[in-house]
Amino acid sequence: MSNIIDIDELRIQRQLKHEARPAADCKHMHIDLDDVGCIVRCADCGAQLDAYWTLTLFLDHYGRALRKLNERERQHAEARARDIHLTAAQRVEKAWRSRTMVPCCPHCNEGIRADDGLGGTMINRSIDDRRRAAKKGGA
């Protein structure tokens, strides 16, 4: 876990040389900020909280929330990458179910029918990638 937190232009580095504060009965998860007196209090137990401790609490929760958000974004990107194949298959199936339309090959623009054997022959993806790159380079 990184001890540096970046929030836009704000950069906070934690020095973890001191002992952590002993756990109390109250976790102080509901905090009131008094803007007039510059006092931080726990809304649950009424204890006045140290500003530094409150800041470290914020940083801990912010770091956890940021990790959760990054994990969700990663999962969402993976799901989108998986769904592109499903989306393509659904579009082809929808076209084949149509009475008047058939999907077209994106390369030659010829119609592809369900009985044409789509998927019957296959090519290794890395070989196909090299062929496509060679066509782009030579064209």
Percent of the chain with pLDDT over 90: 10
Q: Is the pLDDT of residue 135 over 60?
A: yes
What pTM was computed for the model?
Answer: 0.47
Q: Report domain extents, the chain.
A: 24-115
Most confident of 28-32, 40-44, 47-51: 47-51
Whole-number pLDDT of residue 92: 80
Stronger pLDDT, 85 or 73, i.e. the higher one: 73
Ranges assigned E (strand) in the chain? 4-7, 10-13, 31-34, 39-42, 48-49
Structure-block tokens of residue 136:
């782009």
DSSP class of residue 45? T
pLDDT (tens digit, 9 = 90+) per residue, 73-83? 999 998 888 77
